[in-house]
Chain A
Amino acid sequence: MKQTNAHMERQIMNKRKRVFSVQEKKNPKAVFAKRYVSHLVPALKKINMNKPSSQINSKSFEQTVKHEVDMALALSAQEFAWSRFLQHKLLSSPHEDPSYSSKILETSSCKQDGKEGSEIKKKLKELQKLVPGGEEMNMEEILSEVGSYIVCLELQMIVLKSLVQDNIS
């Protein structure tokens, strides 16, 4: 029994490797990355073509690029609630800077002797601000969405890094 199980296990592992290389589409991360690239690159091209060269390196150009970056993220991960929220936000206010960097973590202002429940609630509020659409989610939903959001952000970073690096060298 053990032998057959181990054998099957090996088979499955081998199969997985095969599947991974041949059927990339099954891998959700690969799927996401593909979608992301396919959204972002044409958008960048379009930006290049539309903007006159004088506007390059201005703040609005950066914002436009950022907008496209976020849009590509939202479009590549349609399965999640946060992506829909992000899409809405981007479509409604196309040139607004989400200003991620301005969010400050307020933990230091929490009283130490406060109840843990209220501390957690404060943290949850912070999280709500970070995750697109978080204001409309309750705790459980946020926790589900945060997981996928984190992974998609990581993947996005990988794609962006490689895009940048490919063009530096």
Chain B
Amino acid sequence: MLESLVSLESMSLSSMDVSVLERLKWLQQQQQQVLSTTNASPELLQFHGTNNDELLQNTFSHFQMLGSGFGPNYSMGFGPSHEAMDGCISRTNSCQMDQADTVGVMLNNSEENITIILKNKRKSEVKTREEEKTEKKIKVEAETESNMKVKSNLSNTEASSETSKQKSKAASETQKLDYIHVRARRGQATDRHSLAERARREKISKKMKYLQDLVPGCNKVTGRAGMLDEIINYVQSLQRQVEFLSMKLAVLNPELELAMEDLSVKQFQAYFTNLPVVVASKPSLMVDAPLFPLDQQGSLDLSVINPNQATTIEAPSASWETQSQSLYNTSSLGFQY
């Protein structure tokens, strides 16, 4: 393992003349070696750059949408594939396969900042490679989930071809941080425009998914048009109800005791606990790192997520979602989007 590491270190990152096949071979080698020697990671960890913690923090803070497949099973290549796309990240610091370098689809809701951490540091290259490959598989999973398709079989070849595409794209696009990082799937164009398009589309579909949870009765409808229909209907009905209530209030107003200073929020607490919808939920979590510092939120995530994953592989996302959402609800201070 170490010898191969040393040999790969000599390979410089920017050398694009290294053939893809060669890289794939190495990757597969590494993959197998990793699978067999999961305890070799302490040495691997030494190869990491020093700013992995930052990366990790950034990853955590921006990562919320994906990564139901991540976790202790990371070294296996595929995390358990659930529908819990909306679950939180599940990387543990103690996880041997430290994913510090790896990248998520960093889709912020704010238009201008789409920060990504690109791996491919020279020192951690090997680890990066194997992480990349496994990461890619999981990422592809997440992607397919996010697009609401079900691809149950991601073959190695597909993943590896994506790996190759990913590498060419990554190498050609950027070596720095603060860039959009969108996975290119097999057979898809990798130029800037289509990537930006894809990123945009994924953002939109994520928002639609969030709205689907928000609006009751949206689950049965598929397709954007139907969902938009439902949303429109719901908003209209809400507005009509508000109008009706305000009319009622106007009628009652003269007789209002208006001893309302006593009216405390505690009256509404009963409603709040019953309300299934949460404002500060998934999309909002991607916004600001300061709101969710790693030491608080990250550890919260990890501690809560891991039991779910470890114990129930087919864990339905619903209960977990409400848990996590209510968790974030208490600490988030506003409706952050």
Contact = CB atoms under 8 A, between A and B. Distances in A.
A83 to B, nearest CB: 10
Given A27-B330, A147-B214, A148-B279, A65 B254 contact: no
B304 A29 contact: no
A62 interface: yes
Interface string B229-249: 101111110111111011111
- Most central of B233, B245, B336 by chain A CB within 10 Å: B245
A57 B307 CA distance: 59
Nearest to B272: A29
Contacts of B336: 79
Interface string B250-282: 111111111011010111110111010101100
B242 A105 contact: no
18 contacts: A2-B306, A5-B304, A6-B307, A9-B303, A30-B265, A41-B260, A66-B243, A66-B247, A79-B336, A120-B228, A123-B232, A140-B200, A150-B235, A150-B238, A151-B279, A154-B277, A164-B249, A167-B255
Contacts, number: 223
Contact of A154 (B225, B251, B275): B275
Given A147-B211, A150-B214, A28 B235 contact: no
Interface size class of B (residues with CB under 8 A): 35 or more
A146 interface: yes
B239 A28 contact: no
Q: What does DSSP make chain A's interface, helix, strand, loop or mixed?
A: helix
B232 to A, nearest CB: 5
A12 B235 contact: no
- Most central of B223, B240, B242, B323 by chain A CB within 10 Å: B242
Contacts of B231: 127, 146, 150
A62 B246 contact: yes
Interface in B318-337: 323, 326-327, 329-337
A120 B175 CA distance: 38
A163 B323 CA distance: 30
B335 to A, nearest CB: 5
A161 B245 contact: yes
Given A143-B207, A162-B263, 7 more contacts: A20-B330, A24-B269, A41-B263, A66-B246, A123-B232, A143-B211, A150-B235
B260 A29 contact: no
Interface of B: 109, 111, 200, 203-204, 207-208, 210-211, 214-215, 223-225, 228-229, 231-236, 238-243, 245-258, 260-261, 263, 265-269, 271-273, 275, 277, 279-280, 283, 300, 302-304, 306-307, 310-311, 323, 326-327, 329-337
Contacts of B266: 24
Those 3 A-B pairs whose CB atoms lie nearest each other, nearest first = A123-B228, A65-B250, A143-B207
Nearest to A65: B250
Contacts of A127: 228, 231-232, 235
Contacts of B215: 150
Contact of B224 (A41, A120, A157): A120
Given A9-B303, A79-B336, A124 B228 contact: yes
